[in-house]
Amino acid sequence: MENSKKISIIVFAGVIVLFFVSWISKTSGFQSTGLPFGASVRDGFLITLAAFLTLAIISFLYKDNPYYKFAEHLFVGVSAAYWMCVGFWSTFVGNFIPKVSSTLSGFFEVPYKGFDIFYFVPLILGIMLLMRLSSKVGWVSRWSLAFIVGTTAGLNLIRYMRSDFISQVSNTFVPLLVEWQGTGHFFSNFNLSISGQFVMMLGNWVIFIGVFCGIIYFFFSKEHTGFFGAASKLGIWILMVTFGASFGYTVMGRVSLLVGRLTFLFRDWLGLIN
Amino acid sequence: MSNSNIGLVISLLIIGAGLVWLLIRSLQGKEVERRIIFLFIGLSVSVPLLFNITFSEKATPIVRAVFDKIENLPEGSRILLSFDYGPTMAPEVEPMSDVMIRHVLAKGHKLYLMGLWATGQSLGSAAVERIIKNDFPNMVDGVDYVNIGYKAGNQGVLNVIVTDFRKLYSTDVNGRDLDSLPIFNDIKSLKDMDLLISVGGGFPGVKEWVQFAGDPGNVPTAGGCAAVSAPLLYPYYPSQLLGLLGGIKGAAEYESEFKKRYKQFGDMPEPGVKMMGPQTLAHLVIMAFIVIGNLSFFFAGKGRRK
Amino acid sequence: MKRQLPLALVFIFGIFMIIQYFVPHESSEWVFEFLLDWIYIIGIFALALGIWSLIRVSWDKVKYRKENWFYSLVTLFGLFAMIVFGFDYLRNFQTAEGLQNFMFRHFFDYIMIPIQATMFSLLAFFIASAAYRAFRARSLLATLLLVAALIVMLRFNPYFGPISPYLEKTASWLLNVPNLAAKRAIVIGVGLGIVATALKVILGIERAYLGKD
Amino acid sequence: MRQKLIIIMCLLFIPALAAGQESVITADSSLVDTITVVPPAPVTDLIAYDKNNDHGHAIILKWTPSADDGAGKKNVLGYSIHRSLSPNGPFEERGIAAAGDASYNDVGSKERESADYMADHVDYYYKVRTLTADESVYADSEVVGPVQSYGQWFNTDRWMVLIFVIGFMAIMIFMINKARRGAKLFVRRLAGIEAVDEAIGRATEMGKPILYVLGLGTAAEIATIASFTILGRVAKKVAEYQTGLIVPCYDPIVMTVAQETVKASYMDAGRPDSYDEDMVYFVTQSQFAYVAAVNGVMLRELPATNIYMGKFFAESLILAETGALAGSIQIAGTDEIAQIPFFVVACDYTLIGEELYAASAYLGREPVLLGSLKAQDYAKAAVMVIAVIGFITIHFGWDTFVEWFHVAN
């Protein structure tokens, strides 16, 4: 216990020293590019801070530690406030104020668009939502929730009925026996030395049967036995193949994100590459 | 030069030897600790980055389709590029918007920039500063290119501007009236564009451009997106989506295609191509780990099998 | 009042949103646009509620010296600093200029962006550890997962990808054919699930979200 | 006007070019003709009517093209559409149709302030002018009118959606009523859902809390609403077993609703005193800051079980891997297709797509909820039947059936 405390103090001291070394050297680096002293000190600090936070987050991979905790908590506070400021200025001042009050519009220096009584409704609903903070009248906040949930439930019902259900059903109408029109080069190039036509048709059949079995897999009111069992088994196989393929496809892209971060560390901070 | 080569060889040897060591351990049925995997991934990305390993790329048809479309449109065609991504996704998709901006302007087309993501506006402005101001100093904002920025409303924005830009957009990002900009003469809606390009990987993105702009407006639409969302877009290719740059690989292919055709951009930065080195190595290491995982599973003895 | 009225509101607005889809008339469009605007505005009030919750939880930790209380102080510092900058002190606080405030921008560029991008990049590590742990041929399903993933990974590897044209074709086939079938089956199911759940909400059958009296 | 004529001339040449070399020559000679002033034949059979299935402010015009359009004197360059408020004028030009066209869609703005505003329920009169290369040589059609634009009260393009909505609603209400009357409805077991119950038991044994993540969806997202219901069941069990519960939220409204839900469950379980408002708290509305905070919770509180239900994006794998690192049992459910593979790979149990929506019904085993599951199954059966019919009709070339399912935007 004593030992680990000693180590963590040493590490802490090391981090502080490194921070200052980086700050000073980045400052002199910026100065040599002709930046005035004040701006160099500031930019040196900011780059060092960004690098420190980057490393703090990466250190999480080793184990949870105070530096990660620091970065995490700082991030939470800053980002919450960031979105609040953006929301306030863009929605509240941008969309709301210009429609309810000329005085406030003048105060916030946004063009007044004329009084619109209907914008008092969200104001009232919004205030009702804030009533939650009181335990006595907290229940009125449910009215606002009911408004939001009801409106969006109706909206989503139609949206998904049309785009996810009906149009997907219509997409399953593919010709299985007639000549194939092609879904693109991936497929039309497919030629395993047998007739391409056959392979294409096979693809269509796989899609058709795949959708069929996939739907059967999602049947809730039939036990997976007999025909249903076989079909749902095929369904889950196709699902698994798909999940594997999607995963494999993603690997590449995810690595590029790390490349971006390491490029920042190696180029912008350490200057190892250009 | 030779120094860095030695460094490269040594680093690769270390990675290789490490993997062999893990392989031998796995034959004894031992599991690899997570942190060791993390370490190897870190190394496999850092080494090519530090020693600048690159691979040559050949454009696949789906990427070529986009390149050829821009190449074959008559000079002065109107091409709209939408920045539908944020800073976190930028490493993967920014190379695409960068190289496509270069291509569009090098070919002499008119370029319209916008964004369906709030973050797209500043990324668009940054691209103007970084690419257009540097590589095309003679191009005039408002004549050869314009950035009209972001409007809130996701695909709703498309619903509107497919019939009329001016219902939503009255000015460009610099606050200049659209009607005062020569580039917006005769432009009423998205239908007046010759090509729509959406670069992004989330929602709203390429899919929404196809569904709400390209299809209803009958304008050719191309896209660039993160590798993860590309398979979701394949069903739209080629009938609704003319071509697609999927992930950094798509960007790298486009970059090499572009450099082949436009020799004057020989020393242009190739973030896509450059990123392929680390990607390739990290990819190999991940596959090696899958193999190692399976070996340790099979050699772990009966007791551990489920 | 406490429960019946909210349920009635859900029903009325839900049914209205369904009906308006079938009514192209201007009046229905007009109400529709208002409703959508309202939701955004109410969201701002909700955000205030959220910030309040964050402050209270953090402050409690500091006040009662709970574990890791010091870090909650860091959260509060970040929060208040950002708000002060976002409103540009008192100098300029009436206009959205706050968003252009020098410190606000720098906090965004040098604190938020680096951490955010780094968090995202952790995926590179996690995708490797997940692949190592899960892609094992321990059952038929796991083997299918493994084989499909390996084929696609090989295809997109610049070294192995070009080895055989069949590799490319198989990988493309996997991404086009079974992928399409499985996704379509999932989408149809999800679509139905959403429609059914939305309907239950509108009809007041599913009401967990309203709580109890 | 000159610019316009150039455009029209180009339009004229497009079909001419397409027709091949020979017709280009004829087109050339027709150009010479137009210089000698010969008025073309006017368009005939002009009709105007309100555009259907819209919000008004649009009128469709149809006509039979001029006899000289592509034939006869071949001097037609296009048609300009003119509108007036009285049959005698003055007429205002509304737009131009290319030669060969036989219709025009006169769409105005619905905004009163707009210069392009087109009032509904106002008598309009139209005429179509056949244009030639010479501005002064043209032929006007007869004036048609009066015609009014107006909005419709039902969009007939969307009747298929209406049928599905009503049909589905009917099956569901029927099944729910059947269930209420006490009919036994069979529903098979789902591994992922039974795991939820086991996981709560395990947490109790270990004396460790349960972490419930509602994802990044807003309270409006249906996936989140389904997740609330599951949270309600979990919280009730948690309250009964006196286990801890942690619910960090991404969206402030989601937090509000989740608080209501959890509080209600504690009351249901008869332990309102154990409910603590801070079990459900807001973190931040920033994706990765939220992830960073949840990761921290996982490693510091070491929950026995992590439950992820709702909408997830790129963070899915970060959460699931960190949870695996902390040694928690993990159960996930999302309808976000791109993220399902990561949950499948990294979690112990995953509810795929629709199973998330079914989960709430399973956990409750309430007849009404089971009834809706049955309705979903009937709808799926209908899909299969429709798909087979579609396949047969396509094969026999009877496209009408398939057309029904193409719903316009």
- Across residues A130-134, what is the average pLDDT? 85
More confident residue, A112 or A264: A264
**Would you call D212 helix, strand, or coil by DSSP?**
strand
Q: Is the pLDDT of residue A181 over 70?
A: no
Same domain, D143 and D191: no
- Could you tell me if residue D281 is inside a domain? yes
Specify if D276 maps to a domain: yes
What per-residue confidence (pLDDT) applies to A265?
93
Backbone angles phi, psi at B133, to 5 degrees: -60, -30
Q: Tell me which fold the domain B61-265 belongs to.
A: Rossmann fold (3.40.50)
Q: In B, which residues are within 8 Å of C138 by CB distance?
A: 297, 305-306
B177 to chain D nearest CA, in Å? 17
Confidence bin at C213 (pLDDT 50/70/90): low
- Residue D154 placed within a domain: no
Is any Cβ of chain B less than 8 angstroms from the Cβ of D325?
yes
Contacts of residue D142, Cβ cutoff 8 Å, sequence gap at least 6:
D42, D46, D127
Q: Please answer yes or no on whether A167 and D405 come within 8 Å at the CB atom.
A: yes
pLDDT category of residue C99 using cuts at 50, 70 and 90: low
What average pLDDT does the segment A202-226 reach? 87
Confidence (pLDDT) at D30: 44
- DSSP-derived secondary structure for D325-338: HTT-EEEEEE--GG
Closest Cα in chain A, distance from residue B211 (Å): 11
What is the model's pLDDT at position D36?
A: 53
Residue of B nearest to D324 (CA): B34
Residues of chain D falling short of pLDDT 50? 1, 5, 9-35
Q: What is the separation of C-alpha C189 from the centre of its chain, rounded to a whole number of angstroms?
A: 21
D336 and D197, same structural domain?
Answer: yes
Q: Same domain for D238 and D344?
A: yes
Statement: residue A186 has pLDDT above 50: no
Residues 233-272 of B with CB under 8 A from C: 234-235, 249
pLDDT in tens, A33-91: 888 888 889 889 999 999 999 999 999 999 899 999 999 999 999 999 988 888 888 77
Together in a domain, D134 and D202: no
Average pLDDT, chain B: 84
> Is residue B232 over pLDDT 80?
no
- Cβ separation C2–A142 shorter than 8 A: yes
Element (H, E) at D307: strand D305-311
pLDDT in tens, C36-58: 888 888 888 888 888 998 999 99
pLDDT of residue B262: 86
| D218 and D308 together in one domain | yes
Residue of B nearest to C120 (CA): B88
For residues D241 and D102, state if they share a domain.
Answer: no
Phi, psi of B181 (to 5 degrees): -95, 125
- Residue A191: per-residue pLDDT: 39
Quick check: bond before C178 cis, omega within 30?
no
Do both D199 and D141 map to the same domain? no
Pick from C131, D345, D335, C180: which is nearest to A238 by CA? Answer: C180
Strands (E), D90-141: 92-98, 103-107, 124-131, 138-140
Å from B206 to nearest chain D CA? 15
Q: Distance, in angstroms, between D199 CA and closest chain B CA?
A: 20
- Looking at D101, D117, D147, the residue that finishes a domain is D147
Closest residue in chain B to residue C160, using alpha carbons only: B284
DSSP B111: E
Number of domains composing chain D = 2
- The answer to whether A217 touches D191, Cβ cutoff 8 Å, is no
Q: pLDDT, tens digit, for every residue of C24-40? A: 888 888 888 888 888 88
Domain extents in chain B: 2-54+272-304, 61-265
Residue D170 in any domain: the answer is no
Pairwise CB contact (< 8 Å): C201 & D231: no
Residue D331 and residue D190 share a domain? yes
D286 lies in a domain?
A: yes
d(CA D336, CA D276): 31
pLDDT (tens digit, 9 = 90+) per residue, B148-187?
A: 888 777 777 887 788 778 777 877 888 788 888 888 888 8
Q: Which residues of B touch D314 (CB under 8 A)?
A: 228
CB contact under 8 A, D387 and A211: yes
- Quote the pLDDT of residue B4: 57
CB contact under 8 A, D338 and B88: no
Look up the domain containing D276 and give its range. 185-365
Residue type, A99: K
CB neighbour list of residue A221: distance below 8 Å, 6 or more residues apart = D185, D186, D187, D188, D373, D374, D377
Give the minimum alpha-carbon distance from C27 to chain A in angstroms, rounded to a whole number: 14
Cβ–Cβ of B297/C136 closer than 8 Å?
yes
Domain borders along chain A are 2-63, 82-154, 174-264
Token pair for B203: 């929602």
pTM of the model: 0.83
Q: Among D57, D380, D238, D36, which residue's Cα sits nearest to residue A228?
A: D380
Q: Please list every residue in chain D whose beta carbon sits closer than 8 Å to the beta carbon of residue B211.
A: 409
Whether residue B201 contacts residue B223, with contact meaning beta carbons closer than 8 Å, is answered with: no
Cα separation, D48 vs D62, in Å, equals 6
For residue D165, being part of any structural domain is answered with no
User: What are the C-alpha distances in Å from C148 to residues A238, C138, D21, D75?
Assistant: 10, 15, 54, 64
* C131-184 confidence digits (pLDDT tens): 998 898 889 999 999 999 999 888 877 667 667 778 877 887 888 788 888 988
The complex's ipTM works out to: 0.85
pLDDT over 80 at B300, yes or no: no
Q: For chain A, give the mean pLDDT.
A: 83
Q: What is the pLDDT of residues C178-208, one digit of tens each?
A: 888 898 899 999 999 999 999 999 998 888 7
Residues D204, D142 share a domain: no
Residues 145-204 of A with CB under 8 A from D: 145, 148-149, 151-153, 155-158, 160-162, 165-167, 169-170, 172-178
SS (H, E, C) D259-303: HHHHHHHHHHCCCHHHCCHHHEEECCCCHHHHHHHHHHHHHHHCC
Size of interface A-D (CB pairs under 8 A): 161
What does the pLDDT average to over C2-18?
A: 91
